[in-house]
Amino acid sequence: MEKVKIVFFDIDGTLLDDDKKLPSSTKEGIKALQENGTFVAISTGRAPFMFEYLREELDIDTYVSYNGQYVVFENEVIYKNPLSETQLAQLHKDATNHTNTPMIFMTEKTMKASVDHHERIEEAMGSLHFPHPEKDDTFYRNREIYQSLLFCTDEEQKLYEGKYGQFRFIRWHEYSLDVLPKGGSKAQGIKKLIERAGFKLEDIYAFGDGLNDVEMLETVGHGIAMGNAMDEVKKFADYVTDDVNDDGIYKGLKHFNLI
């Protein structure tokens, strides 16, 4: 294939800085990658509809979204792995009955909340600069839900661990967990994309900063942690670049002679 290398970028804390803005050096670096004939892809826990503007701005048509559950290669959906509706119904029931914990249910196009208003949803979604979704507590029925959000604390999380054999939980905010299919990860989504596109492992690079990036950084040929990444994440990286606010992406690309 013509383009033998591909670089995956996480969004929050990686492509976007603390203010959820795209640093000019990052945009410059990605443009240089594309001009060099390198594939550029996004790998995120976000839903496709939550970063459409970013794909347009950066001219990216390949992405791993929902932490690997919805994968698109050159604008074609190549892999889907929705949550079990039966277990999602049980989790919703338990969350409501045990701790009155709110949830969000997400398709590839939109999201709905289990409640009209909740401070935890406001705070967590606000950190991503997204509003509180509309309420539809049965939205998960008869739909492909690729990710759910459970708005609980660390202490409350213990009530749910080990009770849902088809799910895994990854914390991304003080008040929120990603609910994914068991075995689901960015790494699995990337593997599906590799199978389809034929990239070699040594030609795959990935930048990330969060706990949901660990498997990805471990799996690819060159895993790069941002300087602002959690220490736990940095342990799994082949290289640690500078902070997202200090041209970390651009410097990382330069380090590997990709630009």
What pLDDT score was predicted for residue 99? 76
Please state the pTM of the whole predicted model: 0.86
Same domain, yes or no, for 101 and 156? yes
For residue range 26-77, what is the model confidence (pLDDT) as tens digits? 999 999 999 999 999 999 989 999 999 999 999 999 999 999 999 999 999 9
Q: Does 1 score more than 60 pLDDT?
A: no
Same domain, yes or no, for 71 and 101? no
Give the residue, 227 or 1, on which the prediction is more confident: 227
Same domain, yes or no, for 111 and 175? yes
Rounded CA gap, 95 and 151, in Å? 9
Q: Is residue 1 part of a domain?
A: no
For residue range 29-38, what is the model confidence (pLDDT) as tens digits? 999 999 999 9
Domain ranges, residue 24: 6-80+184-255
What pLDDT score was predicted for residue 188? 93
Structure tokens at 211: 């706990």
Same domain, yes or no, for 92 and 126? yes
**Domain-ending residue, one of 161, 181, 201:** 181
- Our count of domains for the chain comes to 2
**Domain-ending residue, one of 181, 210, 229:** 181
**Domain-ending residue, one of 133, 155, 181:** 181
* Contact call for residues 184 and 84 (beta carbons, < 8 A): no
For residue range 105-138, what is the model confidence (pLDDT) as tens digits? 999 999 999 999 999 999 999 998 899 999 999 9
- Name which of 30, 29, 9, 11 is nearest 20 in CA terms: 11
Q: Does 184 score more than 90 pLDDT?
A: no
Same domain, yes or no, for 137 and 17? no
**pLDDT confidence tier of residue 6, bands split at 50, 70 and 90:** very high
Q: Is residue 54 part of a domain?
A: yes
Same domain, yes or no, for 37 and 150? no
Same domain, yes or no, for 89 and 162? yes
Same domain, yes or no, for 89 and 175? yes
Whole-number average pLDDT of the chain: 94
Rounded CA gap, 108 and 111, in Å? 8
For residue range 196-236, what is the model confidence (pLDDT) as tens digits? 888 988 899 999 999 899 999 999 999 999 999 999 999 99
**Pairing outcome for strands 6-9 and 204-208:** parallel
Same domain, yes or no, for 161 and 201? no
Active site residue 238: no
Please report, for the domain that includes residue 228, its CATH number.
Answer: 3.40.50.1000
Same domain, yes or no, for 61 and 73? yes
Residues 6+ apart with CB under 8 A from 234: 225, 240
**pLDDT confidence tier of residue 176, bands split at 50, 70 and 90:** very high
Same domain, yes or no, for 66 and 194? yes
Please report, for the domain that includes residue 101, its CATH number.
Answer: 3.30.1240.10
What pLDDT score was predicted for residue 22? 95
State the catalytic residue, choosing from 10, 178, 209, 213: 10
Q: Does 3 score more than 70 pLDDT?
A: no
